[in-house]
Amino acid sequence: MKTNNNENLREAARLFEKDFADSYPNELDLRGKTTYSKKHTKRMERMFKRHDSIFYMLTSTTKRSVVTLVMTLLIFSNTLILTNAEARAAIWDFILVTFEEYSDLTFKSTDESPDYLEAMYFPSYIPNGYDVYAENFEDVSLAFVAEFVNENTGEHISFAQTVLTESAWVVDTEDTDNEYLSINGDDGLLIHKAEHDSYSLHWSNGLYQFVLMGNDRDTVLKMAESVSLYDGSLDIKPLDLNSVGSANISYDYNDDGTVTLTVGLTGEFSITLEAILPFKKGDEISITLGKGSGDVGIGLHQAFEPVSSNHIILNENEETIVILTIPEDGEYGIYLENLQTDDISFVVTLDKKFTTLE
């Protein structure tokens, strides 16, 4: 008898799936029977310790430390971005997808690209007068950050080494001059934003990707050219991220399609959850702020610019619900700002259905 929609095949496949699984030894009988190498054991420990994606946060040079945060886990959203790209360029060892006000920058990984940082790279050239601050280098990390500070002039230079991922950096390319160049034979992109007189240099050596940000072109390039395996010779002070503000975020995808973010912000610090999903005009995003105390700014953000904002005073006894209405079709970030000097933490539940994640 003829059936519709392959129903018999589905049923047969389900029966076969069990046969297939049963044709292999019982996994419980094989537990603990093998001694793995140290390398493998360490690698798996890393995976369990930190298996998620990187949040990339790049500050702008506005008065407050406005941070753009990219949820790089959402590779699907990158796909959506590509379809909306106004211009697309596959150039050298990276892909730059350019929008009106920003670009997505993705470096190509290779078979040799480690899943985690295995070796620390660092500039051997440090300009005179700069102190060196850096996180502790951990080989279970996906990223390593350093900061060079000239206390006399107040100038900062930032450096990061990260693993190569499929996810994109969101870089500010509104009114910028972009220069394609070579760093020790590797392809790089130097972005100059005249408005802030800042230079952002991105490149990869095939193993890792690197970023250097500073205000002097020659210094940035000279430091980049000097980046090599760290020899331990520098006086590196611990980098206190809280001194400039920081954000900690964890998230859970709920069974009902909502996403719950637990956000902690240090004083007077703000973040933008960028490029989560494209929205349609008139879409409403309901954001539930958990019980708590303090002042929070919340609104929509698009391509580094706030589109709407709300000043919310958290309620200690009940949740606060904020409805954000999308003004025009497009991709939006959700902007969260700590408006007080004390640290703050709260839970955000987004009830936009994240269908592309299913």
Partner 1 sequence: MLMLYLNLCETDSDKQKMEQLYNRYNGLIYSIAFGMLSNKQDAEDAMHETFLRILGHLEKLSINDSHKTKAYIVIACENICRDVLRKRKKIDVVSLDEWDRGIHSPIDTEDEIIETSSVSEMHSAIHSLAPIHKEIIILKYAKDLSDKEIATFLKISASAARKRLERARKALASKLSSDEVI
Q: Which is nearer to partner 1, 37 or 317 (CB)?
A: 37
Sign of CA dihedral 77, 83, 89, 93: positive
The distance of closest approach from Cβ of residue 315 to partner 1 in the complex, given in angstroms and rounded to an integer, is 27
Q: Is 80 helix (H, G, I), strand (E, B) or coil?
A: helix
The distance of closest approach from Cβ of residue 59 to partner 1 in the complex, given in angstroms and rounded to an integer, is 4
Sign of CA dihedral 339, 342, 345, 346: negative
155-194 residues in contact with partner 1 (CB under 8 A) are: 156-160, 162
> Is there a contact between 333 and 275 (Cβ–Cβ < 8 Å)?
yes
Residue 32 found at the interface with partner 1 (CB under 8 A): yes
The distance of closest approach from Cβ of residue 113 to partner 1 in the complex, given in angstroms and rounded to an integer, is 13
Residue 43 found at the interface with partner 1 (CB under 8 A): yes
Structure tokens at 124: 């051997």
Q: How far is CA 327 from CA 174, 273, 282, 300, 352, in A?
A: 21, 18, 6, 10, 16
* Among candidate residues 144, 162, 152, the one with its CA nearest the CA of residue 210: 162
Residue 217 found at the interface with partner 1 (CB under 8 A): no
Q: Which is nearer to partner 1, 3 or 293 (CB)?
A: 3
Q: Which of 21, 82, 87, 313 binds partner 1 (CB under 8 A)?
A: 21
Stretch that binds partner 1, among 102-110, 123-131, 140-148, 345-353 (CB under 8 A): 140-148
Stretch that binds partner 1, among 135-143, 176-184, 226-234, 332-340 (CB under 8 A): 135-143
Residues touching partner 1, count (CB under 8 A): 83
Q: Which of 124, 215, 288, 310 binds partner 1 (CB under 8 A)?
A: 215
Q: Is 258 helix (H, G, I), strand (E, B) or coil?
A: coil
Q: Is 44 helix (H, G, I), strand (E, B) or coil?
A: helix
H/E segment holding residue 7: helix 7-22
Contacts of residue 15, defined as CB under 8 A and 6 or more positions apart, other chains included, come to none
Q: Which of 120, 132, 143, 344 binds partner 1 (CB under 8 A)?
A: 143
Residue 334 found at the interface with partner 1 (CB under 8 A): no
Stretch that binds partner 1, among 48-56, 86-94, 325-333, 336-344 (CB under 8 A): 48-56
β-partners of residue 295 are: 313
> Is there a contact between 121 and 161 (Cβ–Cβ < 8 Å)?
yes
Residue 321 found at the interface with partner 1 (CB under 8 A): no
66-125 residues in contact with partner 1 (CB under 8 A) are: 67, 71, 73, 115
221-260 residues in contact with partner 1 (CB under 8 A) are: 241, 244, 246-253
